[in-house]
Amino acid sequence: MNTEAPLSDEERATLEVTLPTALELCRLGLGTLIDIRQTFEIEMKGAIPGTMHIPLFEVKRMLGHALSEDEQDILDAGKPKDMDVMTFFTMINQLHHGRDHLLLCICNSGRRSLAAAALLRQMGYGKALSVAGGFQAWKKLQPAAPLAAA
């Protein structure tokens, strides 16, 4: 499966899980949320507590995958995370094989996380899934901030 080509509905169905399901899997100790957004996106929009941060575009570049012009622009917009190939594989192997966890990829909207889950599966991590709706869905689940007293 080519991670650059649009996924069919059938491929999407095998790679995607809803946010409530992902959160329950994490609560039960069966999965770990992996935030694949770039560092500056997390700094601008906010972090999801309890996630592991592994930026997708940096991983793709480390592995020798060509980045699209848009991906390169996003990568260039921020400071790279200090991660090398060994660190990446150590982190993923500890989760996937060591703890027998589902790798629950989450991005801003759920589109890039589909590509990340497909990439991880191509690399032999069969328990990689994408969280539908991404950070935007997570943000909607958060209680509204209380209004400041006048």
How many C-beta atoms surround the C-beta of residue 115 within 10 A?
22
- For the stretch 5-31, pLDDT in tens is 566 677 667 899 999 999 999 999 999
Q: Does residue 111 carry a pLDDT above 70? A: yes
SS3 state at 6: coil
Return mean pLDDT, the chain: 83
- 148/40: higher pLDDT: 40
User: What is the domain partition of the chain in residue ranges?
Assistant: 11-140
Which has more pLDDT, 150 or 74?
74
**Global pTM value:** 0.79
Which of 94, 86, 87, 118 lies closest to 105, judged by CA? Answer: 118
80, amino acid identity: P
The structure tokens 């793709």 sit at: 60
Which CATH homologous superfamily contains domain 11-140? Answer: Rhodanese-like domain (3.40.250.10)
Nearest to 130 by CA among 19, 17, 41, 43: 17
- Judged by phi (left if over 0) then psi (alpha if -120 to 50, else beta), residue 133 lies in left
**pLDDT digits 0-9 by tens, 58-86:** 887 777 877 778 777 776 776 666 667 77
Place of tokens 């703890």: 99
